[in-house]
Structure 1
């Protein structure tokens, strides 16, 4: 199976591969193909190296590691928006699993560990954003106790506007 640990600089290339391949698999038919085809592991890794080396960064990164290295990644930290009725809210910024391993419980393991660490940091609830048309991800988060709270935001990908839904749950 897998074990979860904190991400380190040596994991950047693997995490970028997981993220880019994850986008290309999960968002096929949702995000324009031109946008997905333009993604590259090299570009993502370059941005991730800069971001990962920032001092004072509040986000945390965990990787799920199998016998051949990282196979999943989650990033979380303080909520970037204000949620009514909650004092201390964390946010799952990103969660990706190698596409060929989806459905084997790796995402659930990463999410559970992120929830435990958010609780340890004093967060009372967790929020996340998911594309409205990403039914698979929505079902995954709903099974994990998240519920859409009615808040939406739009993102533009190659001149196509896609809506995201905010989900939240009590920790």
Structure 2
């Protein structure tokens, strides 16, 4: 991974499903590894076909994804769309924003957020224990709204953060 080059941001297309899924799984391993049971995490990451199928489906019918790429290697992505929460606390939701750990602190996460930031109030769910991510979101105007739920797939608590 060439950290001397600034990643190029671009729209994801159907041909990005396999590489996107691989990068997404690597980001999960790096981001969630310190906070969740290693066995549960690896079990969720083991079914690579499921990850590729999800990316294929989401690229075909979901909100646009913005990818970060360096020398043909995907190093991050972000996607936002309409809120999926039953209470619709906000009209928009940040579904995902991830960068490979080598890019943490580089400003890439900010560039990705700026590329998908909705014009209306937005919510997101973040692992409660992930203080690094929570600090990033706070710098971008998100505050916890008191909602908390167990992410059963990783047996970890999440909190919802919202912008006004």
TM-score normalised by the chain length of structure 1: 0.82
Q: Which residue is 1:148 aligned to? A: 144
Q: Which residue is 1:168 aligned to? A: 162
Aligned length: 156
Q: CA deviation at 1:37?
A: 1.8
- Report 1:18-37 matches (<5 A): 18-37=23-42
Q: Which residue is 2:3 aligned to? A: none
Structure 1 runs of 4+ off > 3 angstroms? 40-43
Aligned-pair Cα RMSD in Å: 1.9
> Which of 75, 98, 109 in structure 2 is aligned with 1:96?
98
How far, CA to CA, are the matches of 2:126 and 2:22 in structure 1? 20
Q: CA deviation at 1:49?
A: 1.4
How far, CA to CA, are the matches of 1:76 and 1:60 in structure 2? 8
Matched, 1:48 2:50: no
Gaps of 5+ in 2: 1-5
Q: Which residue is 1:107 aligned to? A: 109
Paired residues of 2:30 and 2:100 also in contact (CA < 8 A): no
- Report 1:46-85 matches (<5 A): 46-54=53-61, 57=62, 59-81=63-85, 82-84=87-89
Paired residues of 1:32 and 1:157 also in contact (CA < 8 A): no
For residues 72-114 of structure 1, the C-alpha deviation after alignment (integer angstroms, 9 at most, x for no partner) is: 1111100112345x5xx21110111122222211111000111
For residues 5-55 of structure 1, the C-alpha deviation after alignment (integer angstroms, 9 at most, x for no partner) is: 21111222222122111111111132211122221444311322133233x
For residues 115-152 of structure 1, the C-alpha deviation after alignment (integer angstroms, 9 at most, x for no partner) is: 1xx22xxxx21110001011111111111111111111
Q: Which residue is 2:11 aligned to? A: 6
How far, CA to CA, are the matches of 1:64 and 1:51 in structure 2? 17
Change in Cα spacing, 1:5 to 1:46, as seen in structure 2 (3 Å) is same
Matched, 1:138 2:138: no
Gaps of 5+ in 1: none
Between Structure 1 and Structure 2, the one with more strand by share is 1
How far, CA to CA, are the matches of 2:96 and 2:53 in structure 1? 18
